[in-house]
Structure formats: structure tokens, C-alpha cells
Amino acid sequence: MFRTRLISGIVLVVLALVFIISGGYVLWAVSLALSLIGLMELYRVFGFHKAVIGLSGYGFIILYYLLLLLSDHRIFEVNWLMYLIVMMMVYLFIMVCKYPKYHSNEMMQAIFGIFYVGVMFSFLYQTRGLPRGMYTVWLIFISSWGCDTFAYCVGKLIGKHKMSPVLSPKKSVEGAVGGVLGTMLLTYMYAAYFAVQMGITQIEVWILTFISAAGALLSMVGDLTASAIKRNYDVKDYGKLIPGHGGVLDRFDSVIFTAPVIYFLAYYFV
């Protein structure tokens, strides 16, 4: 199991390097594909991945990414409020036309999935599009996968105090602290090494370090959120796409939370 997980992890890192360095349409397409797969996994847990409300969710994810692409190329300015209103109206229309097949709770779950998986994950692509995106986008992975690795190691060595005894008994406070500090160390080394290429000052190196710390904190929330949903529905894994890791949501649960944090903090402060 460990060998399978290790090999899959190495393959994921290699693929991430290829897709993110490529950027542009390649990363856009990969982000869209992962969002659709992740949404299907979540909708499967909710029990309507093949129903009309599930199919509508996939459609709105595709529409969101298309609008994002058009907006990035300055073809026209997207009215995102209109997008939200149309989405709400479509789901309410489905609920009324199919009544009493669908409950309002299912409508809210469907809309939640679009934001939780599709919109939040899209910030990986959007971060790559920032002026220094070629470099800052890696903070998403440093503060999610890096934090997870450091937290696991420190927790195994000195973890005593449970961070969330009911939801995730294996996670410790010591591990969480180690994860954040390890992320900060890794980010500082990374930012200092590429400071010239990025065109940033020493102060901005420290700013990026603390941005990653914020991302690391939120990555743990993302991990626990995905675990909470699985526990609510008595599910072990979201899928089996990635050997040794599970589904897209099992591997990218922390990235989903980290990506928007890194994007907005890097956009406004670096």
C-alpha cells in the first residue's frame, strides 16, 4: 500500500510540473477535468451524480470555466452576479418542475458542490495567470501537500494532543504546528532561491512565507472538511482514480481550500 501510494505521489508531482509549467489552455483543461471528476465524486456521495441536478452541476462547471477563459482573454467582461442568479433560477426551476422528486436540501447540495469543487479549485489556474504566477502557484502545493507531509512526520514523532478527536483522531496539535512551521521554512527557501527570477525583495520573500502559513492553516481545514462530509455519509474514499490515494477529492481536498487563499493574498500583497 505504501509503495503504491509513493509511486502515485511521484507521478502526481511529475504531472503537476508538466501541467503547471505549461499553463494556459493545458492547465485550464486539466483544472476543468479535475473539477468535473471531483464534482462527480461529491455528487455520488450525495446520491445524485447521474440525476438531472447532477448533470446541471457539470454543465454549470463547464460554463464557469468557459466564462473564466473568455474573461482572461478580455473577450468580454463577465457578470458573475448574473451567473449566480441564473444558476439559482435553473435549480429552482428544476425543483418546481420535478416536484416532489427533489428536496430543497438537494438543490443546496448541488449548488454547494459547484462552489466547493469547481469554483474554489479553479483558483489553481487563476493563480498561474498572475504576473508572478509561474512561481507563486507552487505555494498552493507547498502549503497543502507540504504541510500535510510535515504534519504527518511531526505528529508521528511527538504528537500527543488530538486536534480533532472525533473527526480525525490521528491528527495532533503538534503535527499541525509542525506542518505550518515546516511549510514556512520550505516557502522561505523556495522564495529566496527564486527571488531574482520573481523580481521580489527580501520583504516580499517574508510576505510569501506568511502567505503560505495562512494557506497551510486553511489546508488543514480543507482536509477536515472533506473528512467530515465522508463521515456524514459513511464513505471511506471519494473514488479510486488515484491508486493509494483514492479519488480527486481525497488527494486535492486541501488544495481546494489553499488555492483561493494563495491567489487573493498573492494578488493583493505581492
pLDDT tens profile 142-181: 999 899 889 988 988 888 888 888 888 888 899 999 999 9
Helix (H, G, I), strand (E, B) or coil at 162: strand
DSSP per-residue codes, 193-224: HTHHHHT--HHHHHHHHHHHHHHHHHHHHHHH
Three-state secondary-structure class, residue 106: helix
High-pLDDT (> 90) share of the chain, %? 73
Distance of CA 156 to the CA centre of its chain: 25
State the amino acid at position 139 in one-letter form.
L
How many C-beta neighbours within 10 Å does residue 95 have? Answer: 18
Over residues 122-143, the mean pLDDT reads 95
Residue 156's pLDDT is 87
State the chain's mean pLDDT as an integer: 91
For 243, the 3-state DSSP assignment is coil
User: Cα–Cα distance between 37 and 146 in angstroms, integer?
Assistant: 24
Phi, psi for residue 21 in degrees, rounded to 5? -65, -40
- What lies within 8 Å, CB to CB, of 62 at 6+ separation is 32, 36
Top pLDDT among 185 and 251 is at 185
Higher-confidence residue of 76 and 61: namely: 61
Task: Find the mean pLDDT for residues 238-265.
Answer: 89
Q: Which domain holds residue 79?
A: 2-269
> What number is the average pLDDT over the span 232-240?
88
Cα-based angle 95, 100, 104 (whole degrees, multiple of 5): 50
- Grid cell, residue 187, equals 516557502
pLDDT of the residue at 188: 97
User: How would you class 173 by CB atoms within 10 Å of its CB: exposed for 0-12, middle for 13-18, buried for 19 or more?
Assistant: middle
pLDDT of residue 2: 55
How sure is the predictor about 13, in pLDDT bands with cuts at 50, 70 and 90? confident
pTM of the model: 0.92
Place of cell 509549467: 21
Instruction: Categorize the per-residue pLDDT at 1 as very low, low, confident or very high, splitting at 50, 70 and 90.
Output: low
Q: How far is the C-alpha of 125 from the C-alpha of 138, rounded, in Å?
A: 11
Burial 241-269 (b: 16+ CB within 10 A, else e): bbebbbbbbbbbbbbbbbbbbbbebbeee
d(CA 251, CA 60): 23
Neighbours of 11 (CB within 10 A): 12
Round to whole Å and give the CA distance between 221 and 169: 15
Number of domains in the chain: 1
* Grid cell listed for 208: 510569501
Decide if 208 contacts 193 (C-beta within 8 A): no
Provide the pLDDT confidence category of residue 191 given band limits of 50, 70 and 90: very high
pLDDT reported for residue 167:
82
Task: Give residue 161's pLDDT.
Answer: 82
The tens digit of pLDDT for each residue in 18-73 reads: 999 999 999 999 999 999 999 999 999 999 999 999 999 999 999 999 999 998 87
